[in-house]
Structure 1
Amino acid sequence: MSFNTRSSESVYVGMCEQLGTPTEVRHRREVIKTGEFLWRPIHFMRGLENSIGGSLRDGFMLETSDVDTMYWPPDHKVICDPSQISIYRIPHHTVILMEYEDAPPGSTKLRLLTPSGDPKINSSCIIINGETYILSSLFRARLLDYSKVNVVFARPSIQHGPCAAMSVAGMAFDHAYCFHCNYWPPVALPWIKRCQLNHWPSDCVLSEIVKEGCHVVPISSLPLDPERDSEWRISFSGAEHKLVHSMNHCQFICYGMLKIFLTEVINTDISDPCLCSYFIKTLMFWAIQLHSPIKWKPCNLLSCFWTCFKLLISWVYKGECPNFFIPQNNMFRVKVVGHKRAALFEKLYALYNEGIICLLLSPTIGEYLEKSIHYKYLTPGTEETRIVSDYYIDVCLFMDLNRLLDPYTVNTEEFARVIIALEQLQKTRSTSMQAISVQYFRPKLLRNYCFMSKQKLAIYSNRKLYYLLKIMKLAVKIGCVSEIVYLALYYYSDSHYELSLRCLQKAQERLTPPYTVYFGFKNENKYKRVMKGRSLIDRMKKGLIYDITLNSGYAYVFELIPEQLTNRVDGAGILYVPPLVMVHMLFFLNHHTLGNAVNSQRSIQDLHTLLLYDDGTHVPEDLRDISWQILGICQQTCGDYVGALSSFQCSLQEYPFNCIKKATVIRILTIFGHLLQKY
């Protein structure tokens, strides 16, 4: 089958707009890497090491993108051979031996060689033939809700394979509790030779992968078979991310197209799809390594896609999907079998008979292929500077930064560890993105420390409060626009109402200019004019706006405590509030406390007008639940129970992003009580 070069380039340009240009993808990966580096000391002090994975770490930002995080106890060491025990310190380290006998390819058993001091691990053990083994099913059950107390979110989780799955801020998170092995497993040694023979990945990447070792995650080869509870899966997630990062951009785009085609075409109208994105990732690895004649260039993108698609059909026809690291492990063995496999092959073969125009069935990809068909004389430029503007790159970077969680610490020791990590990153930074990330995180960390410390102070000494206030002002000085709202919040909680009002006036002036960036695009021309000649750090400080996030572990404003408590139980433990909504709320609370009825009513009216007429510029649709809730709280505080009842009902009708429904219902019942007494 012949493929038109112009069509390939047209689809490439379109997919760069969807999936990211080389610069966008590189920024995305470096931002995630920096966030992981700063969170690591917090997890370590809570007894865990961690590594972020998932499609977000790969560099994708799709609706289906998820974040997979692996956690493991750093004092538990997994070895592949009994002789390796000599390098560890007993009893400071618990040593676990991988055993491959009687385990299918890709799986192993874990034998405990030295006692563990972790009760969760000890309760997951069973004696088999006089030896102590850790059962994957018991380990998984013991740690399913461990994240509710010890990791990041105060949220219950459900089992998803070997992971504890949850949704936070509209994004899927999978937490896998596992063990790390510093050694490359013997069963995967042939993979090294194969890579050297096929010259992919490069020797440098290959060396890094082997040096990092692997993980073992708590899932057996047949999860529903209780006789296989002693099996653990060997995971090469770290190696997989390095392989994805070593792809050129055409390969990355082809990988993204396959993921999109899987979601929008192959798996559509299937209630229980048997093909998953991990199979697509494996497919890409094999295609790159074994199909060396392919020239992975934008002008050949459709040919590359078609080669991968034919390989997928071949796998489904044979019922074999060889694991990239351990080919003897057929990953179709459980999921793609029987009538499911037959139906899948029939669908794939029908798509194959349509030819490359089957891509038109994908709304995302088809749009760009259709343009190349209709506009035959259009010659797209594949250079990055012709695909997106500098403004677009800035906005995408700001949005990627906004998606990262603030580093919340629970004590001074954790704060000190993160500060040290931040300073290390600043001294050793090798990229501009690390400098930007440091500048982004430092004010957030300082501000969170102030709210944490203020809450923990039993008796407020003037010296301590002065010290915390200086830190808050420093965070405003070096931080983005939203930080001044936190200073106003800090002043209000400290009963400095006039100072809070001054901050709010400044905040309102800085939040509303058209050149600011708040989860999307505004006015490119004004942004370019205002930011001309400024460094990226200055552009971020002046133009970036992010949500006001209220962590359930900290006390910010008394009036929102019911919402924080409800969110802690039913949500992520973090309330997300649009900054301009928080400004109007604080305007009202300050004026109301000072007894200024006229200005407090004006603040309520301004907030009501904003919610009625905003087009999503200042109040994102996902955050309208908390926004209407705040309006109702203000109305309830000043005695307007009818207005408050209407606002709370509006909050219930919005998408429950912040999970505050119980708090809303309680407030409604309270208002009914007041109205019954009145009438």
Structure 2
Amino acid sequence: MHHIPRLSEAVYVGMCRYVGTPTEVRIRREVTDTVEVVKRSVSIIRGFDIMKSGSSREGFRLQSSDVDLMLWLRDHKVICDLSQISLYRIPQHTVILMECEDLPTGFTRLKMMTPSGDQKVKSSCVTINNEIYISSILYRAHMLEFQRAPGGIVGSSIQHGPCATFNHNDELVPEQEANKADGVGLLIIPPFVMLHMLFVLTHHRLGDTVRSQQSLQDLYTLMLYDDGTHVPEDVRDISWQILGICQQTCGDYVGALNSFQCSLQQNPVHFLQKATMFRIQRINEYLLQ
């Protein structure tokens, strides 16, 4: 039995290499906390909020793990008691009442107390006993249709219970392929950069040019002035690449070319050169038309 302590130590070392040391896990959690605090204050004027959860939120980095994101409309307020409706301003806020009576544990009905200005919510409403409720089946179907539409944010969405499963790196397919060919098949993206990317692409898909451009400017400012706190040296190649992709998506082709050139000048940690040259070639071909 004398070998057990050594075996335990070996298992511990192996787990640290696989998911991260306790210090690394703690730092990842703190970085995510900071991201959420900063973005929450900014997102107040952007119409929706994002919350990250799951193993990635807890600081673990497992290749087989997914990234759980919850998005919600900031002007849609859910209450569990009618008296709480006085806490909100009508019609600026859409108030939804949770009804749990005569339902199994963990289930609820969402009753519309005030009209919604969101088309996907309005088209998901059904009438039951002269009251208006949100149908989760209809809303999920509308969201999947929206996400799969041409130019959608996450075109590979599939139904997963009450949620939708998607590859949030659909925009990074060339980068993933290049990395798999020459690297280890793993793209490490800083949380700040990923959230900015989601904001840019989401607002662009929604047709909100003002907010899309503001999010793009935020990402550009981050890349230009960050001292390594939020975008460390070993992820600057993929971060500049993402900025270029966002600029290209929003029609700023000159800016995209500059960002792709900056990506090429970084330490090639993610082996993106082939993907970067491919994107530069595509832009140049478009500009020469």
Query: TM-score, normalized by length of structure 1?
Result: 0.31
Question: Larger deviation: 116-125 or 550-559?
Answer: 550-559
After superposition, what is the alpha-carbon deviation per residue over 1:246-285, rounded to whole angstroms, capped at 9, x for unaligned? xxxxxxxxxxxxxxxxxxxxxxxxxxxxxxxxxxxxxxxx
- Distance in 1, matches of 2:116 and 2:195, equals 33
Match of 1:90 in 2: 90
Query: Is 1:629 the equivalent of 2:278?
Result: yes
Q: Structure 2 residue aligned with 1:405, among 178, 183, 194?
A: 194
Instruction: Give SS of 2:190's match.
Output: helix
After superposition, what is the alpha-carbon deviation per residue over 1:410-457, rounded to whole angstroms, capped at 9, x for unaligned? 548974x999xxxxxxxxxxxxxxxxxxxxxx8x54277xxxxxxxxx
After superposition, what is the alpha-carbon deviation per residue over 1:525-554, rounded to whole angstroms, capped at 9, x for unaligned? xxxxxxxxxxx86x957x774333211114
- Distance in 2, matches of 1:632 and 1:414, equals 24
1:189-588 matches, cutoff 5 A: 401=190, 404-405=193-194, 407=196, 411=210, 415=214, 444-446=219-221, 475=224, 478-479=225-226, 545-547=236-238, 548-549=240-241, 550=244, 551=246, 552-557=249-254, 579-580=263-264
- Distance in 2, matches of 1:559 and 1:413, equals 15
| AA partner of residue 618 (structure 1) | P
1:104-183 matches, cutoff 5 A: 104-146=104-146, 154-161=153-160, 162-169=162-169
| AA partner of residue 106 (structure 1) | G
**Paired residues of 1:52 and 1:67 also in contact (CA < 8 A):** yes
- Distance in 2, matches of 1:124 and 1:630, equals 39
After superposition, what is the alpha-carbon deviation per residue over 1:64-86, rounded to whole angstroms, capped at 9, x for unaligned? 22222111122222222233333
After superposition, what is the alpha-carbon deviation per residue over 1:175-229, rounded to whole angstroms, capped at 9, x for unaligned? xxxxxxxxxxxxxxxxxxxxxxxxxxxxxxxxxxxxxxxxxxxxxxxxxxxxxxx
| AA partner of residue 268 (structure 2) | H
1:110 is displaced (CA, Å) by 1.2
Cα distance 1:148–1:411, how it changes in 2: closer, same or farther (>3 A)? farther
1:89 is displaced (CA, Å) by 3.0
- Distance in 1, matches of 2:70 and 2:280, equals 40
- Distance in 2, matches of 1:96 and 1:630, equals 45
1:479 is displaced (CA, Å) by 4.1
Cα distance 1:74–1:16, how it changes in 2: closer, same or farther (>3 A)? same
1:43 is displaced (CA, Å) by 4.3
**Paired residues of 2:125 and 2:135 also in contact (CA < 8 A):** yes
| AA partner of residue 237 (structure 2) | Y
- Distance in 2, matches of 1:90 and 1:633, equals 49
**Paired residues of 2:144 and 2:159 also in contact (CA < 8 A):** no
1:62 is displaced (CA, Å) by 0.9
Cα distance 1:122–1:618, how it changes in 2: closer, same or farther (>3 A)? closer
Unaligned regions of 5+ residues in structure 1, if any?
A: 173-398, 420-441, 449-474, 481-535, 561-574, 584-616, 638-662, 671-679
Give me the CA root mean square deviation: 4.4
| AA partner of residue 35 (structure 1) | V
- Distance in 2, matches of 1:41 and 1:445, equals 19
Match of 2:177 in 1: none
1:633 is displaced (CA, Å) by 7.0
| AA partner of residue 254 (structure 2) | V
1:45-56 matches, cutoff 5 A: 45-56=45-56
| AA partner of residue 45 (structure 2) | M
| AA partner of residue 159 (structure 1) | I
**Paired residues of 2:19 and 2:62 also in contact (CA < 8 A):** yes
Match of 1:279 in 2: none
**Paired residues of 1:110 and 1:134 also in contact (CA < 8 A):** yes
After superposition, what is the alpha-carbon deviation per residue over 1:463-517, rounded to whole angstroms, capped at 9, x for unaligned? xxxxxxxxxxxx3xx446xxxxxxxxxxxxxxxxxxxxxxxxxxxxxxxxxxxxx
- Distance in 1, matches of 2:124 and 2:137, equals 8
**Paired residues of 1:578 and 1:620 also in contact (CA < 8 A):** no
1:135 is displaced (CA, Å) by 0.6
Match of 2:180 in 1: none
- Distance in 2, matches of 1:147 and 1:6, equals 50
Cα distance 1:400–1:15, how it changes in 2: closer, same or farther (>3 A)? farther
Q: How many residues align?
A: 251
- Distance in 1, matches of 2:281 and 2:87, equals 63
Cα distance 1:413–1:544, how it changes in 2: closer, same or farther (>3 A)? closer
**Paired residues of 1:578 and 1:618 also in contact (CA < 8 A):** no
Give the number of the structure whose alpha-carbon radius of gyration is greater.
1
- Distance in 2, matches of 1:624 and 1:413, equals 27
**Paired residues of 2:260 and 2:276 also in contact (CA < 8 A):** no
After superposition, what is the alpha-carbon deviation per residue over 1:655-679, rounded to whole angstroms, capped at 9, x for unaligned? xxxxxxxx9xxx9xx9xxxxxxxxx
Instruction: Give SS of 1:64's match.
Output: coil
Instruction: Give SS of 1:107's match.
Output: coil
Question: Larger deviation: 406-415 or 15-24?
Answer: 406-415
Instruction: Give SS of 1:90's match.
Output: coil
After superposition, what is the alpha-carbon deviation per residue over 1:286-308, rounded to whole angstroms, capped at 9, x for unaligned? xxxxxxxxxxxxxxxxxxxxxxx
Sequence identity, in percent? Answer: 38
Cα distance 1:112–1:540, how it changes in 2: closer, same or farther (>3 A)? closer
**Paired residues of 1:112 and 1:134 also in contact (CA < 8 A):** yes
| AA partner of residue 163 (structure 1) | C
Query: TM-score, normalized by length of structure 2?
Result: 0.67
- Distance in 2, matches of 1:68 and 1:57, equals 8
1:101 is displaced (CA, Å) by 2.9
- Distance in 2, matches of 1:32 and 1:414, equals 24
Which of structures 1 and 2 has the larger relative contact order (alpha carbons within 8 angstroms, sep 6+)?
A: 1
**Paired residues of 1:28 and 1:400 also in contact (CA < 8 A):** no
1:71-90 matches, cutoff 5 A: 71-90=71-90
**Paired residues of 2:55 and 2:65 also in contact (CA < 8 A):** yes
1:97 is displaced (CA, Å) by 1.8
After superposition, what is the alpha-carbon deviation per residue over 1:316-373, rounded to whole angstroms, capped at 9, x for unaligned? xxxxxxxxxxxxxxxxxxxxxxxxxxxxxxxxxxxxxxxxxxxxxxxxxxxxxxxxxx
- Distance in 2, matches of 1:559 and 1:404, equals 16
Unaligned regions of 5+ residues in structure 2, if any?
A: 173-187, 201-208
**Paired residues of 2:46 and 2:211 also in contact (CA < 8 A):** no
